[in-house]
Structure 1
Amino acid sequence: MRKFLMTGIFLAFASSTFSQIISLNSNEIASLRSIVKKDPTIKKQYELLVKQANSNLNDQPHPIDTIRTEGLLKGNPQKVKTQEALADMSKMYTLALQYRITGDEKYLTKCISFLVPWASVNHPNGNPIDDTNLDKAVETYDLIKDDLPAKDKILIQKWLKETALAEIGSKRMKPGRATAINNWNAHRLKVVGEIGYALHDQQLIDWTIENLKSHIYINLYPDGTSLDFKERDAMHYHIYDLEPLLKLAIMIDRAKGQNFYIYESAKGSSIKKSVNWLMPYITGQKQHEEYVNTTVKFDRDRAKNNEPGFAPGTMFEPILALPVLKLSVYFDAQQLKLLNQLSKGNNNLSMMVDQIKRESQETFK
């Protein structure tokens, strides 16, 4: 019934185009609004969003000059300060989504009061592991960009463009550096790509797509494994590499671009093969002891710091693959059953947003 309802709504708007690639566009917001009214489970989830959005109306932003998480151990003061500041990301996104659903200007005004200070204070350092935390800020901008005051819009666009250019020009992506070809580059591509699509900047988009092809060739292997898995001996990093690649592939598909989920490099590697390689470890057919043969000192340092999950020999927990499943199901609906099993059937609002994006594409293909 829900599928029929959603498809009907999308067909009613069939003549419109996608103006928002990163977030939900107007047609998809209309679909979400309708589902919230008719589906009791989603309505309950939505009520939690409303509660959070209303709570955020009383909060103040805490932007920081430089995001610092990469390479820092749990408890490091810089990391703690950053994590506290990054709470703003979910707050501004919640406010933006609530504004788009209700049209109530108070949520837009408060959302802007979070986003503008970040655009004013934060300065990119070209580190994709730090910048990957800006996902929700980019998505927030994409949700409200048509309703932003001109001055604020220019400021935010400048900040996002500078962030993308800092990634492209970073010393960390120079040839010969591991960070030019490992999971760092996957996150770099995702950051530049999402900013490119949010700003409708074709140069950023073209750069991203060209370098995505190279990354799939260098970082992923024909047997489905990845450079990051080989170096870290951990599913954790195979997943951490695939998640940004899947996000980027979805963006490109929503923009009516090439299907990079099934795209194969000259040596036969692909995102799809690397997702499929993970599946037996999710279903429990295979098990893996994490970090036993890692070549990276930071992994050993985190184990010594008693950070959960990083001790050599820790068994991989299938639930950790949920981020990959939530994204890969966009391209492969056969994985829905496994996704529902892993998420224990909890069809939350976040998963509904993902489903709306997926079914929207299916309708217009």
Structure 2
Amino acid sequence: MRKFVVTIALALSSFSSFSQLVSLNNDEIKKLKTQIKNDIETKKLYLGTEKSALNYLSGQPNPIDTIRTEGLLQGNPKKETTRLALADMNKMFALALQYRITGDQKYLNKCVEFLGAWAKINKPNGDPIDDTNLDKAIEAYDLIKKDIPAADKKQIELWLTETALAEINSKRMKTGRATAINNWNAHRLKEVGEIGYTLNNQDFIRWAIDNLKSHININLYPDGTSLDFKERDAMHYHIYDLEPLLKLCIMIDRANGPNFYTYESPKGSSIKKSVEWLIPYINGEKQHEEYVNTTVKFDRDRARNNEPGFAPGTMFKPSLALPVLRLSLYFDPAQNDLLKNVSGNSGNWQKVLDELKHKR
């Protein structure tokens, strides 16, 4: 694949738009405020996140220089250190959202403190399985970017730019490497795309869209299966591939771009077909034993490490598909009944936020 060459200065020069496509926009924030005021269930859910945001005001950021989750087993000290540090992601998002809901400057200041600490310390290494954990930080920045002081804004945008460029120019993108076409690439495209839309970087956006087309053609099959399912023999990885693709498709659609949910590749594959292929396994018509024929050593290592869900023969649990169902509702509201059946129609704050984007 052609190396993506762009200087940091050139990349930064395109960051001029304040439109929120990754997070909630102004109209959606207004709707959320009204819903909190008028809907009892939403109010209950909001009180929980309000309490958390208030507690985060007295906390301190815990950034790490390198995120390390990919390829590490549970119990690995590097993975545990990362797990503890990544608690900051949800804190940033909660603080940013609370600022947008209340307008209280103290939440903005604390969110900027967290984002700035990570921007100063964290160094991207071009590993999308590690970088995919930055979603909530990017969403937080997208929520508050128009109100951030110039010096903080520059530092945070430089960090995000470096993260996207590290992904685009990563050795893991080289032709012939599995990580250039499997679930790694799905997360890479999502990460570059959301940074592109957050920073209004048209080069990043074009790169994500161009490579999304080729990913759908190479990674997904006309029968609805995927390369990741074939290699891992696990719905877990089919879902892990689809979730970032759906997130990227939603961003593209919110920017009035093409509908990549229904887009069909030259060989006839599509994200829609790959979501629909899951449905019989979610509603119980079909069952699947996970990892029985996996070709990946790491899957067997996790099984030997007694990590839940990775033992060969473990039955697929429909609840694992909830992220895909929630995201696919944006394009296909008909999945709502199935989502209710699987989730038990239980209240969920993230579901409230997702549905605000669906109401178009």
TM-score in same-fold range (> 0.5): yes
CA–CA distance in structure 1, aligned partners of residues 236 and 173 of structure 2 = 22
Aligned to 1:236: 236
Tell me, yes or no, if structure 1 residue 112 matches structure 2 residue 76: no
The equivalent of 2:3 in structure 1 is none
- Structure-1 separation of matches of 2:342 and 2:121: 40
Provide the residue aligned with 1:146 in structure 2.
146
Aligned to 1:249: 249
Which amino acid in 2 is paired with 1:55? N
Report deviation, 1:18. 8.4
Counterpart in the other structure of 1:10: none
Between 110-119 and 342-351, the greater mean CA deviation after superposition: 342-351
Say if 2:305 is the partner of 1:305: yes
Output the CA distance in 1 between the equivalents of 2:29 and 2:341.
27
Superposed displacement of residue 285, structure 1: 0.2
Q: Which residue of 2 aligns with 1:285?
A: 285
**In 1: Cα distance, 2:148 partner to 2:76 partner:** 37
Task: Determine the C-alpha separation between the residues in 1 that align with 2:26 and 2:263.
Answer: 30
Q: How does 1:72-221 map to 2 (within 5 A)?
A: 72-221=72-221
Percent identity, please. Answer: 70
- The superposition leaves residues 310-352 of structure 1 with CA deviations (integer Å, 9 ceiling, x where unpaired) of 0000000000000100100110000001111111112322111
- What is the Cα deviation at residue 151 of structure 1? 0.3
Name the structure 2 match of 1:335: 335
- Asked if 1:39 corresponds to 2:22, the answer is no
Please report how far the alpha carbon of residue 155 of structure 1 lies from its aligned counterpart in structure 2 after TM superposition. Answer: 0.5
- Partner Cα separation in structure 2 for residue 165 and residue 19 of structure 1: 22
CA distance in 2, matches of 1:350, 1:260: 23
Q: Is the 8 A contact 2:18 2:146 kept in 1?
A: no
Q: Deviations over 1:285-332 (max 9, x none)?
A: 000000000000000000000000000000000000001001001100
Q: Deviations over 1:53-76 (max 9, x none)?
A: 011111100000000000000000
Unaligned runs of 5+ in 1: 1-16
CA RMSD of aligned residues (A): 0.9
Counterpart residue type for residue 335 of structure 2 = Q
1:225-251 superposed Cα distances (whole Å, 9 cap, x missing partner)? 000000000000000000000000000
Preserved CA contact (<8 Å) 1:24 1:143: yes
8 Å CA contact retained: 1:20, 1:198:
yes
Provide the C-alpha distance between the structure 1 equivalents of 2:347 and 2:195, rounded to a whole number of angstroms.
Answer: 29
Q: How many residues align?
A: 344
- Counterpart code for 1:186: A
1:127 CA drift (Å):
0.1
CA contact (8 A) 1:18 1:255 kept: no
The reply on whether 1:70 has 2:70 as its aligned counterpart is yes
Q: 2:216 is matched by which residue type in structure 1?
A: I
- Structure 1: 4+ residue segments shifted above 2 A: none
Aligned position for 1:320: 320
How far off its partner does 1:139 sit?
Answer: 0.2
Q: Which amino acid aligns with 2:262?
A: I
Counterpart residue number, 2:354: 354
Q: Is the 8 A contact 2:28 2:357 kept in 1?
A: yes
Name the aligned partner's letter for residue 215 of structure 2.
H
Distance of 1:191 and 1:174 partners within structure 2: 18
Judge conservation of contact 1:289–1:313 (CA < 8 Å) in 2.
yes
What is the CA deviation profile of residues 62-91 of structure 1, one whole-angstrom value per residue up to 9, with x for unaligned ones?
000000000000000000000000000000
- Conserved? CA contact 2:124–2:163, under 8 Å: yes
Alpha-carbon contact 1:326-1:339 (below 8 Å) kept = yes
Matches within 5 A, 1:14-53: 19-53=19-53
State the one-letter code of the partner of 1:41.
Answer: E
- TM normalised by structure 1 equals 0.93
Aligned AA for 1:236? H
Distance across 2 between alignment mates of 1:234 and 1:122 = 33
Match of 2:260 in 1: 260
Q: Which moved more, 1:334-343 or 1:95-104?
A: 334-343
Is residue 18–residue 25 contact of structure 1 (8 Å, CA) maintained in 2?
no
Q: Distance in 2 between matches of 1:175 and 1:335?
A: 37
Who is 1:11 aligned against?
none
CA distance in 2, matches of 1:188, 1:357: 23
Contact 1:261 1:272 survives alignment (8 Å): yes
| Whole-Å separation in 1 of the counterparts to 2:38 and 2:326 | 23
Structure 1, residues 151-187: CA drift from partner, whole Å, max 9, x if none?
Answer: 0001000000000000000000100000000000000
